[in-house]
């Protein structure tokens, strides 16, 4: 059968250097999160009013903020908060979403509809606003942020997993399996679930990016880890008044956030392509 010719000759795979750079950057971030003192020997909380708002230099890579603290050091130490909140809230969101999505996918019509409606309702509130509502109840703070972002993102994952599961349930190989496996439950466990779960790692990786952005945003608004913790978002918020004279105090934390999200996104997309090539649908 004839294949579309233009389809058969897509360009060769992009060079892997973007993945390599992304992984390298993420590795660096991991070090910054776990062993920040290795790459940033100073104290992030050390103020030095005499040296406030100094531009980037060999001594202070990213300059100093209005309290004379070294921006580079604070950025490095801040990694753990953004990553921590980003990863944990994604784990929470993916966990909840996948759990309910799978249940919806394999259950009877009623349960399926019920869970799906539930997703619709919670998902009717835009992510961040829902998180804000939760924060209003709980107050600001690291764990509250994780909780809020996690719950707000769960419907998104849930819907995708549910759709995937339903599609797999109807697929041909599942029908085939029913001819050799007596119990419905076994077919679900052996074929439906593993394939449905296959999409999860990709979803999660891509989701960490938006979780980090969300966490930074909420921190910027003042609802994340409180001062003087050097969380990237709140660092930007602090720097707001000094921008005219000291652009560096806000620029670098934001840059690092951007680079983090880019890296995570690139890795996630790469995984997605690998996965697509491996699966059938």
Partner 1 sequence: MTLTEVPSATRSFVAPASDLLIDIKGLRISFDPAEARGQGHTVVDGLDLQLRRGRILAIVGESGSGKSVTARSLLGLAGRGARIEAERFDIFGQDVRRFEEAAWRRLRGSRIGLVLQDALTSLDPLRTVGAEIDEALEAHAARRWSRRERTSEIVRLLDSAGIRDPDFKRRQYPHQLSGGQRQRALIASAIAADPDVIIADEPTTALDVTIQARILRLLKEKVGGGKGLILISHDLSVVAELADDIIVLNRGKIVEAGPARQVIYNPANDYTKQLIAAIPGSHSRGRRLSALSPAIAAEELPGTDAEAVPVVRAEGLVKWYRGAGGEDFKAVDGVSFTVHAREILGLVGESGSGKSTIAKLVTGLLPPDAGTISIHGKPWPGVTAGERRANVGTVQLIGQDSLGSFDPRYTVREIVAESVALAFPDRKERERRIRELLDLVQLPAGTIERHPRELSGGQRQRVSIARALGSDPKVLVCDEPVSALDVSVQAQILDLLHDIRHVSRTSFLFISHDIGVVYHLSDRVMVMNDGIIVEQGRSEEVFSSPNHSYTQKLLEAVPKLETERALK
Partner 2 sequence: MVVQSDLAEAGIAIERDPPPMGTTAAGRRSALWRFRARYVAEKILSAVFVLWAAVTLSFFSIHFAPGDPVTLLMGEVETPELRAAVEEAWGLNRPFHEQYLSYLGNLLHGDFGFSFAQNKPVNDILFGPQLMASAQLTAFALVAALVIAVVLAVLTAGRRGFVSKAIQLGELVFASMPSFWLGIVLITIFAFNLGWLPVTSGTNLQKLILPGLTLALPLAAVLGQVIREGIERSLEQPYSVTALARGIGPTRLKYAHALRHSLLPATTLAGWAVGGMLTGTVVVEQVFGRSGIGQATVAAVTLQDIPVVLAVAMLAAFIYVGVNTLVDILYLWIDPRMRTR
**Unique residue bearing structure tokens 């999409």:** 199
For residue 124, the 8-state DSSP code is: T
CB of 133 to partner 1, least distance (A): 40
SS3 call for 172:
helix
Distance, in Å, from the CA atom of 240 to the CA atom of 151, rounded to the nearest integer, reads 30
- Print the binding letters for residues 90-119 with partner 2: x by CB under 8 A, - otherwise: ---------------------------x--
- Selected from 7, 12, 170, 179, the binder of partner 2 by CB under 8 A is 7
CB of 266 to partner 2, least distance (A): 8
What angle is formed at CA 110 by the lines to CA 107 and CA 111, rounded to 5 degrees? 50
Distance, in Å, from the CA atom of 245 to the CA atom of 235, rounded to the nearest integer, reads 16
Sort 169 into a burial class: Cβ within 10 Å, 0-12 / 13-18 / 19+. middle
Q: Which of partner 2, partner 1, none sits in contact with 195, Cβ below 5 to 8 A by type?
A: partner 1
- Selected from 128, 168, 174, 267, the binder of partner 2 by CB under 8 A is 128
CB of 76 to partner 2, least distance (A): 18
Distance, in Å, from the CA atom of 103 to the CA atom of 153, rounded to the nearest integer, reads 18
Return the range that interacts with partner 1 (CB under 8 A); candidates 19-27, 151-159, 176-184, 235-243.
Answer: 176-184
User: Per rule CB under 8 A, is residue 120 in the interface with partner 2?
Assistant: yes
Query: Phi, psi at residue 64, to the nearest 5°?
Result: -125, 155
Nearer to partner 2, 41 or 222 (CB): 222
Return the range that interacts with partner 1 (CB under 8 A); candidates 57-65, 125-133, 167-175, 228-236.
Answer: 167-175
Within positions 17 to 76, which residues make up the interface with partner 2, using CB under 8 A?
A: none
- Selected from 195, 219, 237, 260, the binder of partner 1 by CB under 8 A is 195
User: Per rule CB under 8 A, is residue 240 in the interface with partner 1?
Assistant: no
User: Per rule CB under 8 A, is residue 194 in the interface with partner 1?
Assistant: yes
Cβ proximity of 56 and 200 under 8 Å: no
Cβ proximity of 254 and 75 under 8 Å: no
User: Per rule CB under 8 A, is residue 274 in the interface with partner 2?
Assistant: no
User: Per rule CB under 8 A, is residue 15 in the interface with partner 2?
Assistant: no
CA 55 vs CA 45, 75, 78, 112, 137: distances in Å: 18, 15, 20, 58, 40
User: Per rule CB under 8 A, is residue 274 in the interface with partner 1?
Assistant: no
User: How many residues touch partner 2 (CB under 8 A)?
Assistant: 49
- Selected from 12, 108, 137, 179, the binder of partner 2 by CB under 8 A is 137
DSSP 182-194: --HHHHIIIIIHH
């Amino acid at each position: 059968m004839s294949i579309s010719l233009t389809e058969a000759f897509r360009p060769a795979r992009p060079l892997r250097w973007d993945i390599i750079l992304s992984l390298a950057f993420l590795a660096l971030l991991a070090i910054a999160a776990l062993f920040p003192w290795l790459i940033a020997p100073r104290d992030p909380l050390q103020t030095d009013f005499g040296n406030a708002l100094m531009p980037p230099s060999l001594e202070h890579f990213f300059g100093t903020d209005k309290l004379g603290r070294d921006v580079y050091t604070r950025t490095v130490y801040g990694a753990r908060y953004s990553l921590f909140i980003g990863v944990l809230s994604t784990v929470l969101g993916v966990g909840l979403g996948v759990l309910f999505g799978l249940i919806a996918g394999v259950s009877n019509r009623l349960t399926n509809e019920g869970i799906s409606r539930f997703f619709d309702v919670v998902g009717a509130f835009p992510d961040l606003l829902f998180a804000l509502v939760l924060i209003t109840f709980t107050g600001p703070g690291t764990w509250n942020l994780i909780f809020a972002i996690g719950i707000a993102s769960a419907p998104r994952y849930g819907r995708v997993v549910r759709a995937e599961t339903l599609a797999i349930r109807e697929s041909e190989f599942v029908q085939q399996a029913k001819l050799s496996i007596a119990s419905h439950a076994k077919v679900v466990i052996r074929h439906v679930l593993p394939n449905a779960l296959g999409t999860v790692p990709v979803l999660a990786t891509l989701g960490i990016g938006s979780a980090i952005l969300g966490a930074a945003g909420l921190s910027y608004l003042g609802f994340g880890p409180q001062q003087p913790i050097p969380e990237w978002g709140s660092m930007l918020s602090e720097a707001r008044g000094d921008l005219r004279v000291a652009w560096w105090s806000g620029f670098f934390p934001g840059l690092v956030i951007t680079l983090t999200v880019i890296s995570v996104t690139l890795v996630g997309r790469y995984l997605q392509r690998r996965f697509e090539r491996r699966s059938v649908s």
